[in-house]
Amino acid sequence: MTAKIASIQAHEIMGGRGPALEVIVTTDTGATGRATPESGVSTGIYEAAFVLDGEQRFGGKGLRKAVQNAMEIAPHLIGMPVSKQREIDEIMIRLDGTPNKARLGANTIVGISLAVCDAAANAAGLPLYQYIGGVNATVLPMPIFGICLSGRYRDPGNTRWLKPSYEIIPHGAGSYEQALEMAERMHREFTRLVLDRYGLNVYRRHSLDRSYDSFWMIGATKDDREILDLMTQAIENTEGADKIGIYYDAAAGCYHEADIDRYVGIYCEGEKTRDQMIAYYEEIVANYPIVSIEDPLHEEDMEGHAMVTEATGIEIVGDDLFTTNIERVKMGVECGAANSMVLKITQVGTVTEALDAAEYCLSHGYNVHPCGSRGDRRAIADYAVGLRAGQVRGFDQRRMMALEAELGAAAIWPGKALFRGHKQS
């Protein structure tokens, strides 16, 4: 029996970053799917547009309009086979009729799209990762753990958060359980080193699921090399650089001031040109166990990203640069900009478009870097396994543990080889 969409419900709920849209898709067989898309902190100008109420409620971020829009879409999808993901997504794109989903909202469309995919997997009696990737979905993604947020040395009034964010990936672990243990040991040692050096003059932010437990270093550091020094020392004091690498999200666009074409207040006080930024990346990659950098320059600078990729020889990840958009990725592949794409389905607005971009990346030698920072923390690990991405960030720890148990002896651990082009020490 082919499961068909029987109902689509939408509600405004409170998510991890304030109001969020919850969408529930139910089939005539009783299978359900659920999604809770949220907006991002560092958001690219090429991302699909969310619809927000813009009223006084929740500082303008209420989602009553998004709920209404979901109800507008629902009659067009009721009765459709839930497995027809591409057809369902194309119907919603046509109904919206704008280049960036601005009428109905990317949050509305992606909420339905994600919930449809989840419902289809449940209707088929398959875990989501297997529904997405089939029998070859056996690569266990290496987890990335948050450690520290940058000092931020100038806020021109539009800096979007405490970027860069410094993180670690225990690529030498061999299993998720071991990776978690290694990350815990490194984090305890890093905590000791930070408190020894700065005392209590730092704010510690706790994450309940431990995938992002970090220090906020505003006012404590004068240069981000201090952070890298302590991270490297903590790595060497525990597991060693052959087991743990540093990943960090520069989100450099947060610090780029277009009128002067300079990066202001990133890494230390003062201004930096593109050439100075690239020289900085060459220096730190040569001196610290960095395996991956995300958005090292602003999102309009494809040429500069190609230069960073060539100069460093490590994984360079495009988030704001690509916005999970296949057309942006094609531009990057053409000029050699970056060699990895962050997968955030909310950025582009449908599961189909996101998977198309991911498959294009993989077929052209680019890595895919799934990140669940947009309200899909539980599902993102399944997408990582389904795509054989090999890494994941912003994940749900319980789901990761369940995935490891389900895959069992079939699980493949990618290791450091995932970071193609890494300059071995």
Q: 83-115: per-residue pLDDT in tens?
A: 999 999 999 999 999 999 999 999 999 999 999
Q: What is the pLDDT of residues 353-393, one digit of tens each?
A: 999 999 999 999 999 999 987 667 789 999 999 999 999 99
**What pLDDT score does 422 carry?**
43
What is the value of pTM for the model shown?
0.92
Report how far residue 214's alpha carbon sits from residue 206's, in angstroms, rounded to the nearest whole number.
Answer: 7
Report how far residue 341's alpha carbon sits from residue 305's, in angstroms, rounded to the nearest whole number.
Answer: 12
**Contact of 51 with 19, CB cutoff 8 Å:** no
**Beta-carbon contacts of residue 30 (< 8 Å; ≥ 6 apart):** none
Report how far residue 108's alpha carbon sits from residue 71's, in angstroms, rounded to the nearest whole number.
Answer: 10
Q: Examine the pLDDT at 41 and tell me if it is beyond 60.
A: no
Tally of residues, the chain: 425
Q: Which of 301, 314, 247 is nearest to 275 (CA)?
A: 301
User: How is residue 89 written in tokens?
Assistant: 């997504």
> What's the whole-number mean pLDDT along residues 289-299?
97
Strand ranges across the sheet with 271-272: 256-257, 262-264, 271-272
Which residue in the block uniquely carries the two structure tokens 């139910």? 26
Q: What is the pLDDT of residues 158-216, one digit of tens each?
A: 545 578 999 999 999 999 999 999 999 999 999 999 989 988 767 665 554 444 557 78
Report how far residue 325's alpha carbon sits from residue 339's, in angstroms, rounded to the nearest whole number.
Answer: 15
Q: Which of 339, 396, 340 is nearest to 372 (CA)?
A: 396
Q: What is the pLDDT of residues 323-355, one digit of tens each?
A: 999 999 999 999 999 999 999 999 999 999 999
- pLDDT band at residue 240 using 50, 70 and 90 as cut-offs: very high
